[in-house]
Amino acid sequence: MKLISIVFFLAVKWIGVCCYTSAKNNRDSSAVCKARECKTLGYIVASGMNKSVNPCDDFWEYTCGNWISRTPIPAGEATWNRFVLLFKQVKDKTREILESAGKPTDFEMMGKARRWYRSCMDTGQREAVGIKQLRDIMENIGGWPITMTDRQWAETKVSWQNIDLYYGGLTGRHTFYSIESGKNYVDLLRYKIMVTKASLPLAHKLPIEKKKFDEKDRGAYTKLIKNVAQSFIDATRSPISANRISHDVNEIINFEVKLSKIPLGRLFQYPSIEYVTSHYNYYFGASETAKVNVTDYIQQIYNFGNLTIASSEIINVYYDYVNDLGTLLKDTPMRTIVNYVHWHFVSDFIDATDRRMNNYLLEFKRETYGIRENRPLFVSRWEECVGAMHLHHAVAPEFIKKYFTNRVKDAAVKMITSLKTTMEHEILEANWIDDYTKRVIIRKLKDIIALIGYPEWYSDGEFMATAYWDLSITSNYLDNIFSWWRFIAGNKARQLRSKDTRTLWYGDPVTVNAFYRIFLNNINLPAATFQLPFFSPDLPDVVNYAILGSIAGHEISHAFDPLGIQYDENGRFRRLSSNFMGNYIENAMCFDDQYQKYGKNDRIGVTTLHENIADNQGARVSFEAYKSLPQRQPTEQKLPGLEDYSTEQSFFILFSSIWCSKATPEFISKKAMDEEDHHSVHRLRVIGTLSNMEDFAKAFNCPKGSPMNPQSKCNLWTRKARANHDLARRMWGNSG
């Protein structure tokens, strides 16, 4: 009777989807992959599933529910997911390389990488130096007013402009302006000088890059600055009152809040630096706190690349930001700006000094990101030092030798070729696209260069032997950081007189990520991304296509998202017919409508449109490519734990599993407000994507109208759309 009740309960619960595990009655032990990689991945995926959930209701919860409920966020982390886990694994492998004994055949840069790592790990030296080196640097330029008496500050009164240039010479960075070699939109392989917005303090020290000031965190931020300032005061035993410190900290934060609200605005090209200087001085030259010698700032950055910049050089400037910043500086006392400039500098090195300063930053992270506890000291130190060692091209050759074999690369190349072929078929079958436009789009698709694993210049022994030759690395950790920043500033400066090639890499081989570069029409897939559980030639094809195939398909699809579709294979802006663009926009806006309905608490709609389209098309093309594999057989091996599922069902389970994630409430709240991240939250990257796929609904026998099988679906290429010519003209003009 009990068994009958259970059967009845299951029948009611799964009504309409009774056949979704139809493969379970056809078990064949020989069809189960016995490889170690299969057993590991199978356990990870199967144990994370919550099979009490109807897959047709919420597939993310179905595939990730148990993982979310059973997996604690590790100590010291604000978020945890499969990408973070892979990044940790790559860090661990990098650590092994850095801590291994040197070999006579090692390039010189490998020795520099190990020396930098050891300088970071040298706790005794870092504790002995403490903040003294930073304090000496600051005193050389007049000192930090918040740590000085009024009389001490009055005797120096160095302007913020001189202090900023002093720090710029030390680090290649400025407080308010980022001087860069930006893209030349006339010749897309070349560069022009560009003046844009610099990062706020702590921008790169937090789980989510700090772009704006969060008023909710003001108390914790106040405490952090006070603690750091008090450390400098204690070292000099200056008689500074608590009220004075509180007042100065409040002024610093008020200034930063105003600064954070200044938009980047419009990018204008000006005929010369001299013109910009004259224009700026006309409005702000008479103000002691707003005047800026534009030429000095620009020349200082390009000195790192041994370039002399003429006043007649063409320059691109974010006009609104520079103008609004000038107004803010004019209305702010010199003392406040000087305090902020020093804080901006010091904040970059909080975690590069002693344990006490590190603890101040960790406490701030706990209060603002919900990090509940710290990692053990030794664990946090080696992870910190691996992450802080930026000579990635030094360790990458050894990483590749150990973890990125020719078998891996050959399998990856084959998969990319299959993805491109499948996408070509989808475009050819789009009955709403005219033949000429199809040829134009397919030409760009075929021309996409896939940079897989590592740059081609790794095979140039002479080049590798001289890489980082002008970078000085010593036993002093802080000096190494300064040296690295100046080295990077020099490389970026020299870009101004260089010319890109189509095979230019973005990132490095030990980065866990993937990229599409619109102006070069290439995709970068670093070696580190081809690690378990994302990829292995020893795994069944269904695994590789479901996980890394969808990631690669995502990047390829960016070539045809609402921005990419406007550029040709050479990265030049092109106009397609208004008839095509009208239909295209209608199809694209289907995704906007779909994601808008998921709720106001997630980043949705137009904000995430480009990434949502890439998610959808990437998964779709990867699934179709997998189905088209000539060697694919009905008896293809399955992962242990997924024997009850067909290979099609396994594909979707594996695709969803890489987006299993959890985070602290504080992290989730900040992520929702992060305007710089255009990706949907992980849950929507699963349900938003798969609910548009008929193949998913068919695989799990989802009833029409169920959450994962809606009546209306979005597809960029095959959806029959109504041309929106008016919208096309408003967005791109009348192109005929």
Task: Let me know if residue 180 belongs to a domain.
Answer: yes
For range 592-614, the mean pLDDT? 80
Binning pLDDT at 50, 70 and 90, where does residue 734 land? very low
Domain count, the chain: 1
pTM: predicted TM-score of the whole model, two decimal places: 0.90
Which two structure tokens, joined as six digits, stand for 376?
A: 């053990």
Q: Is the dihedral of CA 96, 102, 107, 109 positive or negative?
A: positive
pLDDT greater than 80 at residue 410? yes
**Which pLDDT score is estimated for 678?**
87
**Which pLDDT score is estimated for 600?**
60
pLDDT greater than 70 at residue 353? yes
pLDDT greater than 80 at residue 531? yes
Distance CA 430, CA 586 (A): 14
At CB < 8 A and 24+ separation, what contacts does 372-377 make? 372/73, 372/75, 372/664, 373/75, 373/76, 374/75, 374/76, 375/74, 375/75, 375/76, 376/75
Binning pLDDT at 50, 70 and 90, where does residue 606 land? low
Domain range enclosing 164: 133-370
Task: Let me know if residue 498 belongs to a domain.
Answer: no
Task: Let me know if residue 196 belongs to a domain.
Answer: yes
List, for residues 372-395, the tens digit of each pLDDT value.
Answer: 776 655 457 899 999 999 999 999
Task: Let me know if residue 723 belongs to a domain.
Answer: no
Task: Let me know if residue 387 belongs to a domain.
Answer: no
How far apart, in Å, are the Cα atoms of 658 and each of 133, 268, 448, 544, 687? 44, 42, 26, 12, 13
**Which pLDDT score is estimated for 207?**
82
Task: Let me know if residue 161 belongs to a domain.
Answer: yes
**Which pLDDT score is estimated for 10?**
34
Higher pLDDT, 720 or 532: 532
Q: Which helix (H) or strand (E) holds 401?
A: helix 392-403
Which two structure tokens, joined as six digits, stand for 164?
A: 């900023």
For range 366-376, the mean pLDDT? 78
Amino acid found at 425 = H
Count of Cβ atoms closer than 10 Å to residue 3 Cβ = 7
Task: Let me know if residue 407 belongs to a domain.
Answer: no
**Which pLDDT score is estimated for 723?**
46
pLDDT-above-70 percentage for the chain: 90
The DSSP output letter for 673 is: T
pLDDT greater than 80 at residue 184? no
How far apart, in Å, are the Cα atoms of 218 and each of 225, 364, 673? 11, 10, 16
Tell me the β-bridge partners of 526.
453
Question: Among the ranges 18-27, 323-332, 496-505, 530-539, which has the highest mean pLDDT value?
Answer: 323-332
Higher pLDDT, 552 or 666: 552
Geometric angle at alpha carbon 350, from 231 and 157, rounded to 5° = 60
List, for residues 514-527, the tens digit of each pLDDT value.
Answer: 999 999 999 999 99
- 52-72 burial, b for 16+ CB within 10 Å, e for fewer? ebbbbebbbbbbbbbbbeebe
Q: Is the peptide bond before 533 cis (omega within 30 degrees of 0)?
A: yes
Edge-to-edge strand ranges of the sheet holding 515-517? 449-453, 522-526, 515-517
pLDDT greater than 80 at residue 151? yes
Pairing assessment for the beta strands 515-517 and 522-526 based on DSSP bridges: antiparallel
pLDDT-above-90 percentage for the chain: 75
For range 236-245, the mean pLDDT? 92
3-state SS, residue 568: coil
Q: What is the dihedral of CA 55, 57, 62, 64, to 10 degrees?
A: 140
For range 667-680, the mean pLDDT? 83
pLDDT greater than 60 at residue 69? yes
pLDDT greater than 50 at residue 730? no
List, for residues 256-297, the tens digit of each pLDDT value.
Answer: 999 999 999 999 999 999 999 999 999 999 999 999 999 999
Pairing assessment for the beta strands 191-197 and 177-183 based on DSSP bridges: antiparallel
List, for residues 613-625, the tens digit of each pLDDT value.
Answer: 999 999 999 999 9
For range 543-554, the mean pLDDT? 98
Q: Is 684 exposed, middle or buried (0-12, 13-18, 19+ CB in 10 A)?
A: buried
Note whether 711 and 704 are within 8 A (CB).
yes
pLDDT greater than 70 at residue 635? no
pLDDT greater than 60 at residue 11? no
Binning pLDDT at 50, 70 and 90, where does residue 404 land? very high
**Which pLDDT score is estimated for 95?**
97
Q: How many residues make up the chain in this entry?
A: 736
Task: Let me know if residue 724 belongs to a domain.
Answer: no
Tell me the β-bridge partners of 661.
81
- Among 275-284, 601-610, 718-727, the minimum mean pLDDT is found in 718-727
CATH number at residue 280: 1.10.1380.10
Average pLDDT of the chain, as a whole number: 89
With CA atoms as reference, report the closest residue to 639 among 550, 539, 537, 546.
Answer: 539
